């Protein structure tokens, strides 16, 4: 797939990427802060004993904490006003102490619909994919 398009002020070619973003090591406080900001609490993210009793090796990040990291990277690259949809899929948990790497690339251009598709991934320090996301932007 090749091609390029203008996204607002930016000219984006298939294969282009914004700078990767690193976050972590994730802390217990990060999970509490996220839960408080959105008002969505679940003890598997906040209480180590509950997480272990439920069968998890440790507390882990809310899925949409990772989703927000991927969405923020796209927003910072091309601007919120161009984003038409954002879909995050959760592949594996980000545990406490994990180091995350957030990456994105322009994957496909659909000129008939004036849309470009971006693909994002979040991986941990072991190279495991924790999240994949697709964003549709208007070109």
Partner 1 sequence: MTPDRAVGAGSAPEPGSLIAEFGPFPVEWGKAREIAIATFDDAGADRYAPSEEARRDPPFAPPTYTMVQALWGASLDELPLGLEPTRILDGEYRFDYLKPIRVGDWLVGRTRYLGRTAKRGRKVGSFNQVKVETTFHDAQTDEAVLVATRTVLEFEEPPRWERP
Write out the two tokens for 68. 């927000």
Q: Is 124 in the site for partner 1 (CB under 8 A)?
A: yes
Query: Any contact of residue 84 with partner 1 (CB under 8 A)?
Result: yes
Q: Does 120 bind partner 1 (CB under 8 A)?
A: no
* Binding window for partner 1 (CB under 8 A); candidates: 4-12, 104-112, 114-122, 123-131: 123-131
Q: Is 37 in the site for partner 1 (CB under 8 A)?
A: yes
Angle between helices 63-78 and 28-38 (to 10 degrees): 80
Do residues 95 and 57 lie in contact, with contact meaning Cβ atoms separated by under 8 Å?
yes
Q: How far apart are CA 56 and CA 131, in angstroms?
A: 18
Distance from C-alpha of 60 to C-alpha of 70, rounded to nearest angstrom: 17
How many Å separate Cα 79 from the centre of its chain?
16
Closer residue to partner 1 (CB): 33 or 113? 33
Residue 2 CA from chain centroid, whole number: 24
Q: Which of 11, 13, 27, 72 binds partner 1 (CB under 8 A)?
A: 72
Binding site for partner 1 (CB under 8 A): 21, 23, 30, 33-34, 36-40, 42-44, 50, 53-58, 60, 62-65, 67-69, 71-72, 74-76, 80-81, 83-90, 92-93, 95, 98, 124-126, 128
């Amino acid at each position: 797939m090749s091609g390029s398009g203008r996204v607002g002020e930016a000219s984006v070619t298939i294969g282009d990427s914004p700078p990767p973003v690193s976050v972590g090591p994730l802390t217990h406080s990060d999970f509490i802060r996220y839960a408080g900001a959105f008002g969505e609490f679940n003890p598997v993210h906040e209480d180590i004993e509950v997480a272990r009793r439920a069968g998890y090796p440790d507390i882990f990040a809310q899925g949409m904490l990772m989703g927000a990291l991927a969405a923020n990277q796209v927003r910072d690259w091309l601007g919120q006003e161009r984003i038409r949809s954002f879909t995050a899929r959760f592949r594996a948990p980000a545990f406490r102490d994990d180091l995350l790497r957030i990456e994105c690339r322009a994957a496909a251009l659909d000129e008939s619909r004036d849309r470009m598709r971006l693909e994002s991934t979040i991986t941990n320090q072991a190279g495991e994919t924790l999240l994949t996301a697709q964003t549709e932007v208007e070109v």
